[in-house]
Chain A
Amino acid sequence: AQSVTQLDSQVPVFEEAPVELRCNYSSSVSVYLFWYVQYPNQGLQLLLKYLSGSTLVKGINGFEAEFNKSQTSFHLRKPSVHISDTAEYFCAVSDYGGATNKLIFGTGTLLAVQP
């Protein structure tokens, strides 16, 4: 069975500072990896995804993530955050070649950007 761990429930950071949101996964098979963002009172928006190829993937709003197979991690980074980045960030995994490609989500990390 797959699982996703987001150890940090909340990450406070000052505006224009760099940030890293951590995500580790567990799976007995190869996986696809995703980060979704949920702004207050909104739905889930796809931020970026790793399906294959380069382990460094770039997403919207200046975010990027690096797939590290040996450490089973997919940490999300941004070099300089804005107030508008305040949101809940969810890491998710699905089976490579799975029949239904259902997503297994982590518990989420609240990124709180302070002025």
Chain B
Amino acid sequence: EPEVTQTPSHQVTQMGQEVILRCVPISNHLYFYWYRQILGQKVEFLVSFYNNEISEKSEIFDDQFSVERPDGSNFTLKIRSTKLEDSAMYFCASSGGGPSRNTIYFGEGSWLTVV
């Protein structure tokens, strides 16, 4: 069964450093997403990406965040200057086109710890 893959599975970084989280969505999917889950809290939507541009972003997704699909297979989330409160599990997700776009598949997540 095709799956969304994410790297790294866990990253520890110092406050103020830049972090890039990588994702390979399911092949042939057209919609891409990032969600995050702070420990003990609900899963929150960050951003959706379609046709090489952001289609929607949440209030959490401020100027320190950016997304990119650099080569047609990878989908990355960059956090420019990490803060302690960015510590969370970050989930990449994807969905297909047409009616399939409503069924979203998630990756295993990338744990980010900011110290």
Contacts and interface: CB of A to CB of B under 8 A. Distances in A.
Judge: A and B partners, yes or no.
yes
Interface of A: 32, 34, 36, 42-46, 49, 51, 90, 92, 94, 99-108
Contacts of A102: 33, 45, 48, 56
Contact of B55 (A32, A49, A100): A100
Given A100-B56, A102-B33, A43 B108 contact: yes
Contacts of A45: 106
A108 B99 CA distance: 26
Q: How large is the interface on B (under 10, 10 to 19, 20 to 34, 35 or more residues)?
A: 20 to 34
Contacts of B99: 51
A23 to B, nearest CB: 13
Contacts of A51: 99, 102-103
B105 interface: yes
Contacts of B33: 102
A105 B56 contact: no
Contacts of B56: 99-100, 102
Contacts of B44: 105
Contact of A94 (B50, B102, B106, B107): B102
B101 interface: yes
Given A94-B102, A101-B95, A105-B43, 9 more contacts: A42-B108, A46-B104, A90-B42, A100-B48, A101-B102, A102-B48, A104-B45, A105-B42, A108-B42
